[in-house]
Amino acid sequence: MDASWLDIQLKLERIFYELSQCIEDFDVTFDPEIRTADSRFGDFQVNGVLSFAKKNRKNPRALGEKLLIKAREVEPLTDCALELSGPGFINIRFSSSLLQQWMNYFYNRCDFSQQLQGKTIVIDYSSPNTAKQMHVGHLRSIIIGESIQRILRFCGANVIRDNHIGDWGTQFGILIMAVKRAKVDVFALDMMAALDEFERLYREGVALTQQDERYLAAARQELLLLQHGDDENLKIWEAINRASYHAFEEIYRQMDVTFDHVLGESFYRDKVDSICHELKSLGIAEEDHGALLVFHRDHERFRAQPFLIRKSDGASNYATTDLATVRYRVEVFHADEMIYVTDGRQRDHFQQLFLTVERWFRAKNMPLPRLKHVWFGTVLGADGCAIRTRSGESIKLKQLIDEGIQRAWAIVVEKNPGLLADEQKEIARVIAIGAIKYADLSQNRTSDYVFSWDKMLSFEGNTAPYLLYAIARIHALLRKLDIRENFDEIRFSKIMAPFSTAEELALARELVNFPSVIQQVLDDLRPHYLCTYLFGLASKFSSFYNANRIFGEGREVFEKRLLLCRFVLYVLETGLHLLGIKTLEKM
């Protein structure tokens, strides 16, 4: 990734290091520390003069003066504003031409794909459990996972999206028992209604097992039969999964999400036994009353809280499946890295999984993949508790999305009654899904956040509608000009007017920041940095657009400002795409 602030930082460090070398001979070498400056004082600040002067017993201010004189002669810095402040800090304010050069350089080769080239990263997200509708708790994994996978791909990784569906859990014992007892013909159920029926039957089954021991025993028996490949139970299980997948697909379609693989837990059911044997023979897992446990004895908490990889009845579990999955992803997908996007409540599970994998792979002398748990907080209701319906149930994702579209539609119809009904519908859909996604992504993922329709659908503030509107506004401007030039060919040229107004300069500086923001998101896998940046950019654009006329100040000024608009459009559209949000040309 070239020409970002980070890059500039390194270049400046080099320059100042070399400058210090040509002033005098010192006992101690100069180690300049270049930082992004408080924007009131400059773009960058050079620190380190003070300590350098002290170590060499020189006057820092005088040393700073000398450096400054030299710096003014260095090519890239000749027309930048350089200023000494305090006991020897040097502030650098970039000139318009330097900003234009960097913008040209960067936007004409806007290519981040070097960053992660050659890396295979498996990302495990969404991953709901079957036999139930997805609810609001599943929202964040879909949204955050989708954005992260897009960013990784943008940066050149070979990304494999794997939806690790929970389709082999103990819930099936109860459910199959309830299905058989109620004599429901699962094959005759209507696809749309099937999942509701299964949820109802499951609740019925749970109530029965709580009332009467015999039902509990029957449920256990059905589970055993299923696990041993009983034909009838497998067929019922398949019908339940089919209905679940059908409902999931609809959500993914709405959310604009697709996967490369959907390998549910059941896919690993014949791969778990060998893992247990292996971990036992390697001395990593220990047997205890029939159960198989992994202790991490040098871990403060896990020394007394072992990782259970086989239950005392011999059944494998979530942990065993995850161990088998790691191996499969390494052997078959050749994964260098695996990213798991789940709720923060699974932190212990993943820490124990990662520690176990580390010991296991080390014992076998196999290269260890990088394992990352990208966890997130809870979606809260207005009362500050986990969001629920009035009757206390968790909100179905489908209902949530439908409500969002309905609300957005009312806004669109009010704001833009002249549009065709189909257009209004499509715009409402984009706004609603965008708003739901953006509200989630704009929060630090490890925090909880309060779900609020009014806030997320507002056209003011850090919201999707605000950004979508900024984009539509630039499109409207370009339409007015009827400009069809090829974006690739547009660049700032020598004859172009320099940025002169405060708004132009502020906007240009913000644009140059884009690559380092991407870097930041990549380092931490936290998309909210990108949201904060896009909001800042759109706000700066708005100030620019309100205070600077595009037309009427001559050709040169027109071209320069138009170019700024196009760069802003490019960054906003690219940024929203990386968040998984569709954009509109008209709103």
Q: Whole-number minimum distance, CB 144 to ligand ARG, in Å?
A: 13
Q: Which is nearer to ligand ARG, 108 or 129 (CB)?
A: 129
Sheet with 158-162, side-by-side order of all strands? 158-162, 120-124, 337-343, 370-376
Q: Which is nearer to ligand ARG, 129 or 170 (CB)?
A: 129
Q: Which is nearer to ligand ARG, 206 or 496 (CB)?
A: 206
Q: Which is nearer to ligand ARG, 28 or 332 (CB)?
A: 332
Q: Residues in the chain, how many?
A: 587
Pairing of strands 44-47, 33-36: antiparallel
Q: Whole-number minimum distance, CB 191 to ligand ARG, in Å?
A: 22
Q: Which amino acid is at 324?
A: A
User: How far apart, in whole angstroms, are the C-alpha atoms of residue 190 and residue 566?
Assistant: 50
Which residues, 6+ apart, have CB-to-CB distance to 410 below 8 Å? none
Determine which residue in the list 43, 124, 222, 504 makes contact with ligand ARG, applying CB under 6 A: 124
Assess 322 for contact with ligand ARG (CB under 6 A): yes
User: How far apart, in whole angstroms, are the C-alpha atoms of residue 319 and residue 316?
Assistant: 8
Query: What binding mask, one character per residue, do residues 336-355 give for ligand ARG by CB under 6 A, x or -?
Result: ----x-x-------------
- Among 148, 159, 161, smallest CA distance to 118 is for 159
User: How far apart, in whole angstroms, are the C-alpha atoms of residue 309 and residue 292?
Assistant: 6
Q: Which is nearer to ligand ARG, 129 or 317 (CB)?
A: 129
Q: Which is nearer to ligand ARG, 128 or 515 (CB)?
A: 128
**Piece of 124-132, 389-397, 503-511, 521-529 that binds ligand ARG (CB under 6 A):** 124-132
User: How far apart, in whole angstroms, are the C-alpha atoms of residue 507 and residue 344?
Assistant: 37
Q: Whole-number minimum distance, CB 456 to ligand ARG, in Å?
A: 24
**Piece of 126-134, 449-457, 463-471, 549-557 that binds ligand ARG (CB under 6 A):** 126-134
Q: Which is nearer to ligand ARG, 107 or 302 (CB)?
A: 302
**Piece of 6-14, 122-130, 207-215, 377-385 that binds ligand ARG (CB under 6 A):** 122-130
User: How far apart, in whole angstroms, are the C-alpha atoms of residue 117 and residue 579?
Assistant: 21
Q: How many residues bind ligand ARG (CB under 6 A)?
A: 10
Assess 164 for contact with ligand ARG (CB under 6 A): yes
- Among 291, 153, 133, smallest CA distance to 202 is for 133
Token reading at 351 = 């820490």
User: Is residue 126 classed as helix, strand or coil in its secondary structure?
Assistant: coil
Q: Which is nearer to ligand ARG, 100 or 127 (CB)?
A: 127
Q: Which is nearer to ligand ARG, 133 or 325 (CB)?
A: 325
User: How far apart, in whole angstroms, are the C-alpha atoms of residue 529 and residue 236?
Assistant: 46
Q: Whole-number minimum distance, CB 90 to ligand ARG, in Å?
A: 50
Residue nearest to ligand ARG (CB): 166
Cα three-residue angle 362-368-373, rounded to 5 degrees: 120
User: How far apart, in whole angstroms, are the C-alpha atoms of residue 88 and residue 62?
Assistant: 8
User: How far apart, in whole angstroms, are the C-alpha atoms of residue 257 and residue 251?
Assistant: 9
**Piece of 127-135, 459-467, 526-534, 567-575 that binds ligand ARG (CB under 6 A):** 127-135
DSSP state of 36: E
User: How far apart, in whole angstroms, are the C-alpha atoms of residue 261 and residue 338?
Assistant: 14
Q: Whole-number minimum distance, CB 286 to ligand ARG, in Å?
A: 23
Q: Which residues of 15-44 are buried (b: 16+ CB within 10 A; e: fewer)?
A: bbeebbeeeeeeeeebebebeebeeeebbb
Contact indicator for 350, 340 with CB cutoff of 8 Å: yes
Q: Whole-number minimum distance, CB 310 to ligand ARG, in Å?
A: 17
Q: Whole-number minimum distance, CB 520 to ligand ARG, in Å?
A: 26
Q: Whole-number minimum distance, CB 349 to ligand ARG, in Å?
A: 7
User: How far apart, in whole angstroms, are the C-alpha atoms of residue 148 and residue 580?
Assistant: 9
Contact indicator for 344, 375 with CB cutoff of 8 Å: yes
Q: Which is nearer to ligand ARG, 307 or 340 (CB)?
A: 340
Token reading at 147 = 């954005």
Assess 227 for contact with ligand ARG (CB under 6 A): no
Token reading at 307 = 């990782």
Q: Which is nearer to ligand ARG, 348 or 553 (CB)?
A: 348
Determine which residue in the list 20, 45, 100, 127 makes contact with ligand ARG, applying CB under 6 A: 127
Q: Whole-number minimum distance, CB 162 to ligand ARG, in Å?
A: 8
Q: Whole-number minimum distance, CB 187 to ligand ARG, in Å?
A: 26
Q: Whole-number minimum distance, CB 124 to ligand ARG, in Å?
A: 5
DSSP state of 267: G
DSSP state of 256: T
Pairing of strands 337-343, 370-376: parallel
Contact indicator for 463, 435 with CB cutoff of 8 Å: yes
Assess 166 for contact with ligand ARG (CB under 6 A): yes
Q: Whole-number minimum distance, CB 326 to ligand ARG, in Å?
A: 9
User: In sequence order, what DSSP letters do the residues of 441-490 get, joined into one string?
Assistant: HTS-TTS-EE--HHHHT-SSSSSHHHHHHHHHHHHHHHHHHT----GGG-
User: Is residue 47 classed as helix, strand or coil in its secondary structure?
Assistant: strand
Assess 266 for contact with ligand ARG (CB under 6 A): no
**Piece of 17-25, 121-129, 362-370, 528-536 that binds ligand ARG (CB under 6 A):** 121-129
Q: Which is nearer to ligand ARG, 346 or 542 (CB)?
A: 346
Determine which residue in the list 48, 128, 205, 515 makes contact with ligand ARG, applying CB under 6 A: 128
Q: Whole-number minimum distance, CB 488 to ligand ARG, in Å?
A: 41
Q: Which is nearer to ligand ARG, 42 or 128 (CB)?
A: 128
**Piece of 31-39, 125-133, 223-231, 526-534 that binds ligand ARG (CB under 6 A):** 125-133
Q: Whole-number minimum distance, CB 322 to ligand ARG, in Å?
A: 5
**Piece of 6-14, 120-128, 392-400, 510-518 that binds ligand ARG (CB under 6 A):** 120-128
Q: Whole-number minimum distance, CB 440 to ligand ARG, in Å?
A: 17
Residues that bind ligand ARG (CB under 6 A): 124, 127-129, 164, 166, 322, 325, 340, 342
